[in-house]
Amino acid sequence: MKDVNYFEGTPTTNVGEIRVTSLLDGWLSLDGGAMYGIVPKVLWEKHLPSDEQNRVKMAMRPLLVQTPTNTVVVESGIGQAIPPDLHERYGIHRIGPTLDQLVAAQGVDPATVDTVACTHLHWDHSGGLCKFVDGRYVPSFPNATYVVQGGEWDIAIAPTNLHKASYAPESLTPLESQLKTVKGNGEIVKGLSFDFTAGHTENHAVIWLESGDEFGVFFGDLVPTISHVPLAWISAYDINAGGSFAAREVLYPKVLERNAKCFFYHEPGYPVGQMLQQRSKYSAEPLVQR
């Protein structure tokens, strides 16, 4: 079986005048069969080996996005949303620092982060929006506006039985006074915008970066890793796999036409890639070799 070169760096790349750094919050081991949906193991294990419990190792890589006008964090890792005694159950290995410390390690004062945006609010994406201080959750970025899809927020803070396992509402409610909800497509700040896809959750939205004639796209969980790019390689965690397939069919031609840099949140290897197309088959390759 192939060995994976897990990538522990924090690569920085440019999209026009926007500087993008992929941070690393930690690792999560998820069932390989669930992660690859209908794709048989004989195919997915060529990309990622599984452990003795059939789990594959996923990274969590929030983005620090510095535009000429704004300092933005996209996605937030697991942070402290899941109590340490449950970490073994979910195969969680956090690196240690909280998200504001990861940002500070890049030479950016967390107090200067003005905007935080999320593709959706599952706990492996939203857990670092707040941090745990003196027995309670407080926003990780005191001066930021937190921009999320309104429908996603409503489900996340009052999850039904269907959604309960995926959200950690107590780590989100302290954000209420700094929250800005949007519906569907729309600008987050100049150069960053939501592109509503649904599929993975009812209100999932990918995030576009645009500067001059250069583009980037952050896929959230619509395409969690480089190996998930083929149209039908859709995770069984998606609440609507058919919706994800349809969203990909619309999104991918746009990604190619714009020659967009692709940012993969859960990619265990190098997380920045370029999409390729051969007839109706899509794939991607890492943009920078390790």
CA distances from 160 to 25, 157, 199 (A): 28, 10, 18
Q: What is the closest distance, in whole angstroms, from the C-beta atom of residue 118 to Zn ion in the complex?
A: 11
For residue 142, the tally of other CB atoms under 10 A from its CB is 11
Q: What is the closest distance, in whole angstroms, from the C-beta atom of residue 221 to Zn ion in the complex?
A: 4
Q: What is the closest distance, in whole angstroms, from the C-beta atom of residue 210 to Zn ion in the complex?
A: 24
Q: Which is nearer to Zn ion, 62 or 216 (CB)?
A: 62
Residue 94 and residue 29: Cα distance in Å, rounded?
Answer: 11
Q: Which is nearer to Zn ion, 124 or 238 (CB)?
A: 124
Q: Which residue is listed with tokens 């509503």?
A: 196
Q: What is the closest distance, in whole angstroms, from the C-beta atom of residue 202 to Zn ion in the complex?
A: 15
Q: Which is nearer to Zn ion, 221 or 238 (CB)?
A: 221
Q: Which is nearer to Zn ion, 204 or 261 (CB)?
A: 204
Residue 277 and residue 79: Cα distance in Å, rounded?
Answer: 36
**54 backbone φψ class: left, alpha, beta (φ>0; ψ -120 to 50):** left
Q: What is the closest distance, in whole angstroms, from the C-beta atom of residue 181 to Zn ion in the complex?
A: 21
For residue 262, the tally of other CB atoms under 10 A from its CB is 23
Q: Which is nearer to Zn ion, 167 or 270 (CB)?
A: 167
Q: Which is nearer to Zn ion, 210 or 221 (CB)?
A: 221
Q: What is the closest distance, in whole angstroms, from the C-beta atom of residue 249 to Zn ion in the complex?
A: 21
Q: Which is nearer to Zn ion, 193 or 235 (CB)?
A: 235
CA distances from 236 to 35, 38, 73, 241, 243 (A): 6, 8, 27, 7, 12
Tokens of 153: 């927020």
CA distances from 67 to 15, 26, 107, 215 (A): 9, 25, 15, 13
Residue 130 and residue 22: Cα distance in Å, rounded?
Answer: 19
Please give the helix or strand (H or E) that residue 66 lies within, else none: strand 63-66
Q: What is the closest distance, in whole angstroms, from the C-beta atom of residue 224 to Zn ion in the complex?
A: 6
Q: Where does this chain bind Zn ion (CB under 5 A)?
A: 124, 221
